Structure 1
Amino acid sequence: MAFSSIPDSKTTSTTVCGGGATMFSDVHTDIIRTHILTRLNGPTLASAASTSSQLYALSSQEDLWANICRSTWPSTNTPRLRHVISTFSHGSRSFLSQSFPILLTTNLDPTTTNWKLNPNRIPQLISAIDIYYRGKVVFSKVVETETVSDWFNCSPFRVDLLDPKDVVPTPIKYPNGEYEWEELGEDLTLSWILIDPTGRRAVNLSSHKPVSVQRHWLSGEAQVRFASILTGDKGSASEFVQCGIVVTCGGLEEEEMQVREASLEMKNMDGTNLNGRDSVVILQRYLEGKTGRKTRREEEGRNRYQEYIEKRRERKERKLRAEGTLDMLCMILAVMSFAGFGLFVWWK
């Protein structure tokens, strides 16, 4: 969806009422703006703006898009983010157009990638996170992460939403002390927008709906995973990278479920966490819009994640077979060397 599309020509529509024709342009602009446009969501408002020059002019007002951003992502209603969004090329409209689609790696084939490292670094990243339960906001927060220190560059990349001792209450109740964990896969949704305030770019890293829900074998807590599959470096273990967001929910002893942990990490095809430097290099490509983006589909994230898991499994099997072949060769060489040494001693 192109949120900044401009109509090619003026178009009009008519409404037949009582035997007469009323031109859409006859409707007072205050009625259109106050009672019609304010009721539309982002994609619908963008479509309306592309139908006529009149609607485009009315839809270009910043407050319309700012209200949509705040209603869609309450985390954006902080002084810090309101200032950052105002610096985007078209303000809230640009921010919405960049943050609404999910990421899409169109082909999980490493031979098709040809990325180059970008020497320009992002000095800071801002995460705008919103957790929803059945469409209603459970928790919102903004997290700022510096990306220039040696500690960040060398340590595993990780952004935590909550402090270790914090918990977030939710309206999720335990009927008779139990809860069907699988229902979280349909009821819980999440938006994790990563923002580059210097480059004035944003990208939504969440799959919107969970790609998996699992019970922790020890604590019994539910680990709800959201994920986007990103393209890494060609010819390495980072050919494809899982940008994973794990939300841990628990509290069986309570009447309501609690969100106890939420974090963002990046792992390569071997399951190893990427450090801060490599993670920022990959994320920068997506922030700059050098990848495909697609309007959100409920099953898109899950299908992409399952494809990634299958490729990771195949990679692991190939690696194990290669290691097994190498072990066998080493064993044969060892036996031949021992036998040769024995023959040498016997001959002497």
Structure 2
Amino acid sequence: MKLTSLPKNGLSLDYYYYDDGGMDDSENSLPSDFVSLIDVWYKGHALYSKVIWGIPSSDSANGWFYNYPFRIDLSQHSAENNENNNGDVFLSTVSGVSPVPSMEQERKDGKLWRELNDGVKLSWIVVNKKMKRAVNLTSWHPLSGQRHWPTDADFVLRFGSVLPAKEVLPCQVAECILLMKFRVTGMGGEEAGEPSTLALTELSMQIQDMGGVHLNGRCSLLLLKEALSCHRSRNYDEVLESCNLYLKAQSELKEEKIRSECRFDTLCVFSGIAIFAAICTMWYRKF
């Protein structure tokens, strides 16, 4: 088994290609073997539920799914299966949140942002029908997020888990990233006691290695298959600790990469100075 990168115009793309070295395809999991069971809660109330058979857009005849970045986007999946969406995809609506007088006020106190972080929970269970096993790939509670991005009315929550990748990636671990985006559709009124209204506009899954590289479909299927047989825990503190350790190692890797690049830049500068000095010396001696 080996990992290589797919070249394009002499450059490496930002996803991995998995070369199975002649492995029998019957031993690998197919996209049709997987079933996703997704549930979203807000303050204990069911907000959104979805069952996806197989992996969307993986049945292309040219096999692009296996060689391009892996991503499951439920907003696109819902749009394809909703004839009356009129170009707008709203997976569900959250009601009952505190009124937001204005986005300027929300930027100052962050009350709505705290409510989303404390109240939203996500469960994304992946089932392999062939193996007859299941695993929940989410951290239940948000691990991080970003408010007022990409617009003032958008709030992004990031869930995830650490996946083993001993036989797939050099770093031997990867991160399953689950992104959920809410958009404020109604500000509400504090004086009238009207709650604000939010729409769940995005829910997606993707897998990255420790360097932040998006994995392709072939690699991702192997990781999902391996996750079904690895150690799992229902202890949120243990899950949170593993994610924090992963982020710490990822940060150290980035810092080491930056230091290496700085050392290389310094070496190039001194080499350039030395070459310039040598040329000047030769020119001076010649004349």
Same fold (TM over 0.5): yes
Distance 2:171 2:204 in 1: 20
* Higher RCO, Cα 8 Å, sep 6+: 2
Match of 1:158 in 2: 71
Distance 2:206 2:42 in 1: 23
Aligned residue pairs, count: 230
Contact 1:209 1:301 in 2 (8 A): no
Question: What does the per-residue CA deviation read over 1:68-100, in whole Å, with 9 as the maximum and x for residues that have no partner?
Answer: xxxxxxxxxxxxxxxxxxxxxxxxxxxxxxxxx
Relative distance call for 1:303 and 1:184 in structure 2 (3 A) is farther
For residue 252 of structure 1, report the CA deviation from its aligned partner: 4.8
Of 11, 21, 37, the residue aligned with 1:128 is: 37
Unaligned runs of 5+ in 2: 1-19, 80-87, 188-195
Counting only pairs closer than 5 Å after superposition, residues 43-192 of structure 1 correspond to structure 2 as 120-123=27-30, 124=32, 125-143=34-52, 144-145=54-55, 147=58, 149=60, 150-163=63-76, 165-167=88-90, 168-177=92-101, 179-192=111-124
- Secondary structure at 2:186's aligned position in 1? coil
* Higher fraction of helix: 1
* Distance apart, 1:219 and its partner CA: 1.0
CA RMSD of aligned residues (A): 2.5
How far residue 172 of structure 1 moved from its aligned partner, in angstroms, is 3.6
The one-letter code sitting in structure 2 at the alignment partner of 1:327 is D
AA partner of residue 213 (structure 2): T
Instruction: Report the Cα distance in structure 2 between the residues aligned to 1:154 and 1:235, rounded to whole angstroms.
Output: 15
1:264 maps to 205
Pick from 258, 269, 275: which aligns with 1:331? 269
Max Rg structure? 1
The letter of the residue matching 2:55 is T
C-alpha separation between the residues in 2 aligned to 1:334 and 1:234? 42
TM-score normalised to structure 2 length: 0.72
- Whichever residue aligns with residue 239 of structure 1, its letter is Q
Relative to structure 1, the CA distance from residue 269 to residue 237 in structure 2 (aligned partners, 3 Å threshold; closer, same or farther) is: farther
The CA deviation at 1:218 is 3.7
Q: Which amino acid aligns with 1:206?
A: T
- Structure 1: where are the runs of 5+ without partners? 1-116
- Paired residues of 1:174 and 1:256 also in contact (CA < 8 A): no
Identify the structure with the greater strand proportion. 2
TM-score of the aligned structures, taking structure 1 as reference length: 0.60
Name 1:203's counterpart in structure 2.
135
